[in-house]
């Protein structure tokens, strides 16, 4: 039955030249408006990259981060709220109809902390990891046989001091002040071999590293339980290189990128290089949001809110970065950027201008060329593709 469905999907894609994607939106104001209504199903044209809306697939509150499981059968949404069961955020689980993209709600569970900002899955597709920004906590949620979620098998709360309000190495004239009032877990994701899980805490200026017991769904501190970045920088998101040995971190308040060597045997991170994610000689306020490594491993991209650009870097043979240039996001406040499954197109979710801009990726130079195409959607926060 699964093989038959896969053949039908491939046949449909070949005929229609479309790939499904899902867009998460804000339904209540977070860093901007509240013009979304939930999760939207869209179709991407293979030839042009253009997005067209199919339907509002799920009406749900603040599905600000989405992830599709490795099998492509389930979608999980972090509902960035604080009032689920009184004081928590939540995670919603959906079954994907791969023939038409429809979503069937399976269940909703507590994220075990307030305002979840990020979630991901382990490589086996048995667990969802969720980072609660306002809660300063992370949780491991088991995935049940039907794709629904169980109650947390593990929860960790970040404790300890927080960094200063102003990043010590922010751009000249920066007033980028956000989350150094308390611990704020911002991203959580398994390392490529699934033996370790990494988590950023923006308020503490730390990257935590945990050993992951996939049989029990438990996390335990690695030999070096965390590494610190410069005070006040605010680590937000990270991305691994396809070689699985290099990791790149984007900070929100200093708008810096740090290149780390990742030791797969111990989980240790060794910083090798830090440079600005903004153009040379930039001055003023900007907030880093998302970081991507190109599928071919040659280029790195960062999204810059307020500056409203995507910065482009080359990745050298030893993993070090060199500035190439920038591309306007053709909109306001790019909260998320993503490649389509082929890597030929890139998408910028411009949160405050209610649109996603479409770019053609030059695989040889790394440059992004605006296609002239937009997709209008209320307060987009992220886009994920069904592979």
Q: Show the CA angle centred on residue 137, arms to residues 113 and 217, nearest 5°.
A: 95
Q: Which residues are within 8 A (CB) of 103 and not within 5 positions of it... i.e. 6 or more apart?
A: 22, 39, 41, 57, 58, 75, 94, 95, 96, 97
Mark 67-90 as b/e (b = at least 16 C-beta within 10 Å).
Answer: bbbeebbbbbbbbbbbebeeebbb
**pLDDT score, position 177:** 85
pTM: 0.94
- Model pLDDT for residues 300-339, shown as the tens digit of each residue: 999 999 999 999 999 999 999 999 999 999 999 999 999 9
- What whole-number percentage of the chain has pLDDT above 90? 90
Token duo for residue 98: 């791969």
pLDDT (average), residues 204-223: 97
- Going by pLDDT thresholds of 50, 70 and 90, the confidence category of residue 3 is very low
Q: What is the pLDDT of residues 119-161, one digit of tens each?
A: 999 999 999 999 999 989 999 999 999 999 999 999 999 999 9
Q: Which long-range contacts (CB under 8 A, 24 or more apart) does 271-277 make?
A: 271/227, 272/319, 272/320, 273/320, 273/321, 274/230, 275/321, 275/323, 276/171, 277/250, 277/251, 277/302, 277/304, 277/311
pLDDT over 60 (residue 280): yes
Question: Rounded to whole angstroms, how far apart are CA atoms 64 and 134?
Answer: 14
CB 248 within 8 A of CB 300: yes
Residue 12 has pLDDT above 60, yes or no: no
Rounded to the nearest 10°, the torsion over CA 174, 176, 180, 185 is: -130
Could you report the per-residue pLDDT of 332-380, keeping only the tens digit for each? 999 999 999 999 999 999 999 999 999 999 999 999 999 999 999 999 9
DSSP classification of residue 351: G
Q: Express each pLDDT in 67-76 by its tens digit.
A: 999 999 999 9
Query: Which domains does the chain possess?
Result: 81-91+108-376 (2.130.10.10)
């Amino acid at each position: 039955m699964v093989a038959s469905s896969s053949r039908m999907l491939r046949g449909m894609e070949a005929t229609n030249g479309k790939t499904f994607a899902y867009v998460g939106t804000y339904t209540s104001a977070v860093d901007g408006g509240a013009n979304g209504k939930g999760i939207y199903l869209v179709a991407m044209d293979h030839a042009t990259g253009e997005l067209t809306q199919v339907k509002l697939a799920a009406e749900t509150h603040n599905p600000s981060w989405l992830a599709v499981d490795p099998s492509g059968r389930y979608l999980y949404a972090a509902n960035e709220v604080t009032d689920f069961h009184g004081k928590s955020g939540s995670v919603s689980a959906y079954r994907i109809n791969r023939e038409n993209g429809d979503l069937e709600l399976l269940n909703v569970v507590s994220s075990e902390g307030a305002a979840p900002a990020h979630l991901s899955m382990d490589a086996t597709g048995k667990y969802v990891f969720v980072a609660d920004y306002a809660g300063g906590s992370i949780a491991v949620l088991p995935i049940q046989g039907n794709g629904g979620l169980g109650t947390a098998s593990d929860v960790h709360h970040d404790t300890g001091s927080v960094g200063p309000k102003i990043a010590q190495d922010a751009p000249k004239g920066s007033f980028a002040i956000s989350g150094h009032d308390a611990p704020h877990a911002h991203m959580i994701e398994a390392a490529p071999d699934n033996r370790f899980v990494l988590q950023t805490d923006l308020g503490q200026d730390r990257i935590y590293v945990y050993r992951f017991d996939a049989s029990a769904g438990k996390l335990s501190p690695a030999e070096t339980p965390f590494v610190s970045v410069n005070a006040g920088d605010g680590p937000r998101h990270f991305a691994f290189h396809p070689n699985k040995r290099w990791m790149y971190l984007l900070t929100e308040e200093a708008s810096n990128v740090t290149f780390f060597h990742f030791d797969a045997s111990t989980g240790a991170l060794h910083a090798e290089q830090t440079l600005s994610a903004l153009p040379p000689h930039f001055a003023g306020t900007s907030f880093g949001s998302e970081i991507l490594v190109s599928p071919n491993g040659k280029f790195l991209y960062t999204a810059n809110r307020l500056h409203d650009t995507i910065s482009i870097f080359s990745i050298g043979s030893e993993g070090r970065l060199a500035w190439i240039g920038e591309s306007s996001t053709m909109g306001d406040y790019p909260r998320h950027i993503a490649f389509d499954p082929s890597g030929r197109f890139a998408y910028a979710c411009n949160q405050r201008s209610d649109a996603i801009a479409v770019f053609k990726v030059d695989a040889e130079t790394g440059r992004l060329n605006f296609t002239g195409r937009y997709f209008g959607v209320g307060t987009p926060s992220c886009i994920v593709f069904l592979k």
